[in-house]
Structure 1
């Protein structure tokens, strides 16, 4: 009897994050969605109401019981850290992305690329890969890990994103697969995995930027999946105008809607402003490692409201542009990616800075 053996799993060092903060922070009140209930029609009907209300009122929610184990989650964070600690600066530069010219984040984004405020550049490093990892070359140390990275991307896409998209469709009283059919795995598009490392900054830079590490913004795509990690820094602009912290929950995901979902839902679902700030005192000096799946509709999707929705027919549609002038997803992402952190922003009211992308007013909150 013959037997086959699978390739050994590459060894990578363990990533040990800072412990969760003990500071008393004002946390955003986010709905917690038990995704295991989405396995039945009755469960989906119940969850659809929760998801609808969360995305309509706040634009953020938390997902638990998604089927990915704590051990699998920890392994992905080990891999994410490895992409920064075990790839040389020389090789990172070789695989550095060129978002201003390509409208894509694929590859490395090195620190000091974006302007934050008062002459301070970012201290953020990223490694981005399309969900189909074979579409690009990768640094040699990462290549043995690509099968795991690919499978992790597929899990995010099919086991978490698609169930959430079905619930969003039900919330608009549309057929369940309405949004799913716009987020195809194989079609040309920019749904991507992103590993991010935030490095501490000098006190001088913190003063100059009012402790803001990444300005308040909306995400440009469909649904963002952020795997919760213990270093507190993410803040959400609540409907009452106050910034509140996102609370860490072990092996949960923090999920939010982006511009494309707001456009497609005629403004019914919110692309909520959020930002990254200096961690609380007991976590200062720690690096913050993030693991994301940024989903986007297919490049060929025109971002016009789904007016066949009975909900939109009752509630009305908030348009950012006419149907004729609506951009395709490819146009929107390229415009926003090329401009982010590089264009000269105009001062709006209060701490708001503004720019126009494809004729749409985009706001940044400092």
Structure 2
């Protein structure tokens, strides 16, 4: 990592970890420091594969980023929210519905949640090529650090996770890596996201849901664990489980694109954000993410050179295989999902009263409330 002169910025005071007794998900912990020797790497690959199949979520530790570096990035993450005026935020607002791109701000009240309640969260999205768009004045001196953060996520975390998952599927270890060129045309990006407390009235109307159950549309999402408990995953027993904070750990989950590429062996994981427990409700919830997508021109068809994927396809009906073969490109999928999210009218699903649907690029997309 390059030596960078750090600009002085305010320190973000994060919430203390909750003392509430919550029903936490049992997630595997993948220690990348234990992936040096060939036999250790194969054992870790099997664990990562099984965790992705079982829950679609796991933690990563031993990634090489220090707690001090992670704390600094949290401070940077707050700058586009706390150090930029509302007027300037509007100047840099994204045009998601028109362009299918998340670059820039997603301002508050853009998404409809439920019961007439709109979201109370802001996010700021920066393409891995930080020069692709201009940024608010307060953020410009910090772009060298954000650039290095994006590269760290891409090369030291994402690629390492992809190599393990490829080995777990009996594929050449760089199979997924080669679909995610850092300099290729695509939309992998850093996201800073800040949730703000809501009124009691809004909590009642939205049933305490801050972001309804959904899947991410990329391949892998990297969340830098933060202390406010609010993230939940939908488990195989039909209940929502909380994701526990582990300092300086990363929370990894699979998205739609990875599910397409593996014929559903690695299913896109359903997750949501809800009101935090009482001892954290007065705090904002600030997070740093890296959302990965394949190169835009990659067709999201199953990787049949994996024996596991080939067997999965053979088990499907001819009708289902024909549907899978109509896979969209990454560009088509990300633009469709980005433009539609929180903006389209959803219809009730036959899957249950709490499931809503929309159709994007010929694929049924479910939302869980």
Other-structure match for 1:354: 357
Give the Cα separation in 2 of the matches to 1:258 and 1:138.
28
Query: CA 1:49–1:97 in 2, change beyond 3 Å: closer, same or farther?
Result: same
Give the Cα separation in 2 of the matches to 1:324 and 1:269.
17
1:326 and 2:332 matched: no
Other-structure match for 1:272: 269
- Partner residue of 2:60 out of 49, 58, 63: 63
Root mean square deviation, CA, Å: 1.2
1:1-366 paired onto structure 2 within 5 Å: 8-316=5-313, 322=323, 324-348=325-349, 349-366=352-369
Deviation at 1:324, TM superposition (A): 4.9
Deviation at 1:29, TM superposition (A): 0.4
**Where does structure 1 differ by over 4 angstroms across 4 or more consecutive aligned residues?**
317-321
**1:10-37 CA distance string (max 9 Å, x none):** 0011111110000000000000000112
Whether the 8 Å CA contact 1:38–1:163 is kept in 2: the answer is no
Whether the 8 Å CA contact 2:4–2:145 is kept in 1: the answer is no
Give the Cα separation in 2 of the matches to 1:264 and 1:40.
28
Query: CA 1:46–1:7 in 2, change beyond 3 Å: closer, same or farther?
Result: closer
Whether the 8 Å CA contact 1:232–1:279 is kept in 2: the answer is yes
Give the Cα separation in 1 of the matches to 2:6 and 2:84.
19
Whether the 8 Å CA contact 2:210–2:273 is kept in 1: the answer is yes
Whether the 8 Å CA contact 2:4–2:144 is kept in 1: the answer is no
Give the Cα separation in 2 of the matches to 1:147 and 1:267.
38
TM-score (norm 2): 0.96
SS in 2 for 1:256: strand
Give the Cα separation in 2 of the matches to 1:228 and 1:119.
30
Deviation at 1:9, TM superposition (A): 1.4
**1:155-180 CA distance string (max 9 Å, x none):** 00000000000111111100000000
Deviation at 1:311, TM superposition (A): 1.4
Deviation at 1:323, TM superposition (A): 5.5
Query: CA 1:320–1:57 in 2, change beyond 3 Å: closer, same or farther?
Result: farther
Give the Cα separation in 1 of the matches to 2:102 and 2:321.
25
